[in-house]
Structure 1
Amino acid sequence: MEAMDIQAVESKLSDVTVTAIPMSSKNSRVELAAGGGGHATISTVASPASKDKDAAVSKYAQLLAVIEEMGKEVRPSYSGSRSSAERLKRGIVHARILVRECLIETERSARQYFRQYTYLAYLLNMAAATWTTRWRWDTGLSADSAEWCPVPPHTDVLVCGTYQLNKGDEGKQSANQKRLGRIYVFRINDETTTLNPVHTVEISGILDQKWCYHTIDNHPVLAVVTSDGFVKLFKLITEEGECKLELWMEESVGESKLALSVDWSTNKLRSAETRLVVSDSSGSVTVFAVQDKLVKLGTWNCHGFEAWIAAFNYWNPDVFYSGGDDCLFKSHDVRAGGAVCSRAHEAGVTSVRSSVDVEHQLLTGSYDENVRLWDARALKRPVTETNVNGGVWRLKYHPRRPASVLAACMYGGFRTLNVEGDSVTVVNEYMEHESIAYGADWKFSEDENMVATCSFYDCKLHVGNIVFEA
């Protein structure tokens, strides 16, 4: 009879680590009873994830049973029993499989518990802020952008942008489709009782709008990107009681392209040269200098599909970020070639926002329904990520509360987030819209937390207030 290498068997058994888990029924509950001598008896709790737990317990029970059977075969194997040695080998193989399955079940249960903990924290945070609606208005066309003017004394000016495919062009190739758009201009202050635009601009479909944080040529300036591939700059004219937008300059990003997003370089640091970064449907990103006309400084082929978003690092205007439908998030420096690329997102990257209050703090949003917090100095992996239950189209920091962030979460409505240290938590939600949540912004006001939100297919603009608990 062939002798078996018992030391080898013992070595393989040492690879198997077993942690005892209390066995309980589905209907078990927590009981803590003090016994004699200060001892306590604890029975286990059935979690909401009972199916996962039962499955995990079953695997552990099987593993313990297999190890018990293996123990019966050790002594006969020492005595030279070939059949016992073969059963012991099969037991080791089976035990290793069960260990892997137990680890998988444990990880699954841990994720479930984490989701429950996150939801509980969310419910507790809900009491920290109250979001109420003051006005609603029908935009006529599908609304996708809402932006408050940040330049005093014009902070009561709100613009809402719309985008809608001409119904007669449905079914045509994208290049032949005509997209309609309007910019609605509102003034909202203490005298406002109902929402009514004071000015309207007819334009091609609007994909994004951003105000410059300072005046240019003595006027607030709004940048708009459109479905016909143009970036347009409008001056806000508020003379002689008027409040209107006047086209100042425009430039194309290329034929047969949709301009998808726009951002200004000077939201934090005023510099001699104000720049714009524009992303488009071909996956490219273009940087312009605002002079007596828009001067193209360069175009970068950043993504294999749509470049949904481009944004500057407000602390270093030579650096801009891009996110695309190829799930890539990139950092670029206009002074050098190449890019830092992260593959952390599990779907298209749709939003990027640099904090103007906390240096190196950066947020991204994605179709994968997560908001990710980044350290701009280390972009290979995020600091943390939080599920917000909807694809994240826009993220806006509060102008006076650096930790508060407004998120437009597409089919998940709107959220306010708290970003402090290494954590991002959901504070509350706003579900009053009946369609895709696209546009959101804070009013740049010293004495209130007013927000504007807009949604797509139901063509609605809402203006409301968020009251934070002191």
Structure 2
Amino acid sequence: MTSFSSIQSLVLDLPPSCIEFCPVSRDYFVVGTYFLEKKEQDAGVENAAGDEEEENEDADKKPQTRTGSLILFKVEGDEVKQISTRPTPYAILDIHFSPHDPSLLAVAASTGAIQLFRFSASTISLEPLSTYQFFSSEILVLSLAWHATSPNILGVTTSSGGVYTVDISIPEAQAKDTAKEILVHELEAWTLSFSHTGKEVYSGGDDATLRYSTLPDMTSPSASQEEEGDFFPMQWQDRRAHNAGVTAILPLAHEDNILITGSYDDNIRILSCPQLGRKQVLAEENLEGGVWRLKLLTSSPSDGKYTVLASCMHAGTRIVAITKDQGGQWGIEVLARFEEHKSMNYGSDVQPGCQNGGEQTIISTSFYDKLLCLWRFDLP
């Protein structure tokens, strides 16, 4: 295992919570920030809901104010250049470009809303589009995911524990109360992921539970409320695999019922999760920090080899090899670590175009020290 140093690092104005490269212009990436305005600036993304409960116990019961920004950067050789900053009246907890329209960016807001932006290659800017107030302003949208096959459907998770699908084809003014609840966690729902077919969804929460549900067909524009009402989902939950909150879920598209998960308990795991029957941990590895996000770097199903970028909160960033041998045994090996971050590493991403191996340009961030780093790693 090799440790790496940054080629460039810079300090941002606000704490970074999430990051993603732009699929249509590979040199550009976007960072979302999260700022909690209170007397003691000690609240990160992972304990936002807990801090809110403490504040509610105060006699004045003043609501917390969260703000943020979307920052557009460009990678030029070994240098990161800040192109623009767009302040937002909410804190940002997650961002993702659409796989169906790679210039379309969805933003998860701390005010119960989803806002859409368009990356313009001609003006090199993020242009605001619609804002959908799906939930009350006291609800934090903690994560979001685009549906695998339906371009107008997103999955979202909330601080109230709900896992929903939402439709961005409806008018903005009609968004309230249209979110469809799929799963419910007892505490904050931190993450969700659709299967590659879009027919299933997995979610993870602060209740240390992994949950699963089948979904109705969302690809047909003629699907009616009555048809959805006749749908009875198959669901299950697993409380045994994780020792703390489930914070990342990465289904492997070419492996039936195989998930890679991350948890507050510092472990990355490979799980076998058939619809029926016992869920099993096939392999696990302690990454020395809470595994907040997972990103698939390379995939070679025929060889049983996968490479994953892991954002590991207080431990920094890891590059991890996932393997399955000819006997069907799974293994996990840490290939590289980046540990210049001195606080919570919530967001990391890799520059597009390196899926076949070779030199990977990686941007990683950390929350309290507001640090952004560029570093590189050679994959075989």
Coarse TM-score class (shorter-chain normalised): 0.7 to 0.9
Partner of 1:371: 268
Q: Which of the residues 308, 316, 331 maps onto 2:212?
A: 331
Tell me, yes or no, if the aligned pair for 2:103 and 2:119 is still in contact at 8 Å: yes
The 5 A counterparts of 1:262-301 are 262-266=144-148, 271=149, 273-291=151-169, 293=171, 296=178, 298-301=180-183
Gaps of 5+ in 2: 42-53, 217-231, 325-329
Q: How far did 1:253 drift? A: 3.6
The 5 A counterparts of 1:172-191 are 172-173=55-56, 176-190=63-77
Between structure 1 and structure 2, the one with the greater Rg is 1
The 5 A counterparts of 1:153-232 are 154-168=25-39, 172-173=55-56, 176-190=63-77, 194-203=79-88, 204-215=90-101, 220-232=103-115
**Alpha-carbon distance in 2 for matches of 1:247, 1:352:** 29
Tell me, yes or no, if the aligned pair for 2:161 and 2:184 is still in contact at 8 Å: yes
Q: How far did 1:259 drift? A: 0.5
The letter of the residue matching 2:345 is: A
**Alpha-carbon distance in 1 for matches of 2:208, 2:318:** 23
Greater shift in the superposed pair: 180-189 or 450-459 = 180-189
Q: Which of the residues 269, 278, 281 maps onto 1:382?
A: 281
Could you say what secondary structure the match of 1:330 adopts?
strand
The letter of the residue matching 1:247 is: P
**Alpha-carbon distance in 1 for matches of 2:9, 2:254:** 32
**Alpha-carbon distance in 2 for matches of 1:243, 1:399:** 29
Gaps of 5+ in 1: 1-125
Partner of 1:321: 202
The letter of the residue matching 1:226 is: A
The 5 A counterparts of 1:21-100 are none
Partner of 1:61: none
Partner of 1:404: 307
Percent of aligned positions that are identical: 30
The 5 A counterparts of 1:121-132 are 126=1, 131-132=4-5
**Alpha-carbon distance in 1 for matches of 2:33, 2:151:** 30
Partner of 2:341: 433
The 5 A counterparts of 1:352-367 are 352-356=249-253, 358=255, 360-367=257-264
Tell me, yes or no, if the aligned pair for 1:341 and 1:380 is still in contact at 8 Å: no
The letter of the residue matching 2:140 is: L
Is the alpha carbon distance of 1:366 and 1:209 closer, same or farther for their aligned partners in structure 2, counting shifts above 3 Å? same
**Alpha-carbon distance in 2 for matches of 1:251, 1:338:** 29
**Alpha-carbon distance in 1 for matches of 2:135, 2:40:** 21
Q: How far did 1:301 drift? A: 4.6
The letter of the residue matching 1:201 is: R
Structure 1 residue 260 corresponds to structure 2 residue 157: no
Is the alpha carbon distance of 1:392 and 1:223 closer, same or farther for their aligned partners in structure 2, counting shifts above 3 Å? same
Q: What do the CA deviations read for 1:112-163 (whole angstroms, capped 9, x no partner)?
A: xxxxxxxxxxxxxx15xx6342221211111121111223xx1111111111
Q: How far did 1:304 drift? A: 0.8
Q: How far did 1:352 drift? A: 1.0
Tell me, yes or no, if the aligned pair for 2:243 and 2:265 is still in contact at 8 Å: yes
Decide which structure has greater strand share. Answer: 2
Q: How far did 1:367 drift? A: 0.7
Q: How far did 1:292 drift? A: 5.5
Tell me, yes or no, if the aligned pair for 2:5 and 2:340 is still in contact at 8 Å: no
**Alpha-carbon distance in 1 for matches of 2:261, 2:247:** 8
Q: How far did 1:311 drift? A: 1.4
Tell me, yes or no, if the aligned pair for 1:390 and 1:409 is still in contact at 8 Å: yes
Tell me, yes or no, if the aligned pair for 1:407 and 1:416 is still in contact at 8 Å: yes
**Alpha-carbon distance in 2 for matches of 1:358, 1:448:** 26
Q: How far did 1:274 drift? A: 3.9
Is the alpha carbon distance of 1:358 and 1:221 closer, same or farther for their aligned partners in structure 2, counting shifts above 3 Å? farther
Could you say what secondary structure the match of 2:343 adopts?
coil
Could you say what secondary structure the match of 1:445 adopts?
coil
Q: How far did 1:167 drift? A: 3.0
**Alpha-carbon distance in 1 for matches of 2:8, 2:256:** 36
**Alpha-carbon distance in 2 for matches of 1:467, 1:321:** 32
Q: How far did 1:300 drift? A: 3.0
Could you say what secondary structure the match of 1:185 adopts?
strand
**Alpha-carbon distance in 2 for matches of 1:237, 1:399:** 28
Tell me, yes or no, if the aligned pair for 1:319 and 1:332 is still in contact at 8 Å: yes
Q: What do the CA deviations read for 1:375-396 (whole angstroms, capped 9, x no partner)?
A: 3436622222211111110011
Q: Which of the residues 305, 313, 320 maps onto 2:187?
A: 305
Partner of 2:229: none
Is the alpha carbon distance of 1:390 and 1:281 closer, same or farther for their aligned partners in structure 2, counting shifts above 3 Å? same
The 5 A counterparts of 1:131-142 are 131-142=4-15
Could you say what secondary structure the match of 1:451 adopts?
strand
**Alpha-carbon distance in 1 for matches of 2:213, 2:310:** 25
Q: What do the CA deviations read for 1:7-49 (whole angstroms, capped 9, x no partner)?
A: xxxxxxxxxxxxxxxxxxxxxxxxxxxxxxxxxxxxxxxxxxx
TM-score, normalised with respect to structure 1: 0.65
Structure 1 residue 418 corresponds to structure 2 residue 321: yes
The letter of the residue matching 1:202 is: P
The letter of the residue matching 1:222 is: L
Tell me, yes or no, if the aligned pair for 2:183 and 2:211 is still in contact at 8 Å: no
**Alpha-carbon distance in 2 for matches of 1:182, 1:249:** 17
**Alpha-carbon distance in 2 for matches of 1:380, 1:358:** 15
The count of residues paired between Structure 1 and Structure 2 equals: 328
More contact order relative to length (CA 8 Å, sep ≥ 6): 2
Q: What do the CA deviations read for 1:84-103 (whole angstroms, capped 9, x no partner)?
A: xxxxxxxxxxxxxxxxxxxx
Q: How far did 1:293 drift? A: 4.5
**Alpha-carbon distance in 2 for matches of 1:385, 1:293:** 45
